[in-house]
């Protein structure tokens, strides 16, 4: 990933986190949404946002709900970083399963003992 891609990805992650936190309080009450990673494409037209979801019975459904509201979230992001970035990339949200996989592996290792 190029330096510019990396800088834009970090700016999106930094500025989107509080927006997503505020916005998700209304659409997903009681759930904690964190941005784990942001990957920007080479043309900076798309940002893949990997989110972690806590306190949810159906994490996939929570990510689908966030993705459904991505247009409003992108507009709020544009208000924050619009002066620093000429074109605000499209936002695609994905569930980050790193913690779930780590917990599953830890349980398997505990059962082996």
Q: What is the pLDDT of residues 9-27, one digit of tens each?
A: 999 999 999 998 888 888 8
Give 45-94 pLDDT, tens digit per residue. 999 999 988 887 888 898 899 999 999 999 999 999 888 888 889 999 99
DSSP state of 55: S
Model confidence at 100, pLDDT cuts 50, 70, 90, reads: confident
Strands (E), the chain: 32-40, 46-54, 90-95
Model pLDDT, residue 103? 79
Tell me how many domains the chain contains: 1
Model pLDDT, residue 111? 86
Q: What is the CATH number of the domain that holds 42?
A: 3.30.300.20
- In the chain, count H helices and then E strands: 4, 3
pLDDT higher than 90, residue 5: no
- Tell me which residue range forms the domain holding 12: 3-112
3-state secondary structure of 25: helix
Model pLDDT, residue 53? 86
Model pLDDT, residue 34? 87
Model pLDDT, residue 4? 84
């Amino acid at each position: 990933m190029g330096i510019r891609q990396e800088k834009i990805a970090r700016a999106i992650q930094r500025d989107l986190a509080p927006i997503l936190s505020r916005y998700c309080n209304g659409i997903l009450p009681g759930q904690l949404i964190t941005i784990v990673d942001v990957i920007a494409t080479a043309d900076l037209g798309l940002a893949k946002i990997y989110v972690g979801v806590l306190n949810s019975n159906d994490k996939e459904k929570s990510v689908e709900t966030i993705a459904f509201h991505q247009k409003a979230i992108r507009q709020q992001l544009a208000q924050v970083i619009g002066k620093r970035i000429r074109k605000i990339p499209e936002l695609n949200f994905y569930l980050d399963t790193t913690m779930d996989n780590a917990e599953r592996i830890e349980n398997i290792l505990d059962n082996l003992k």
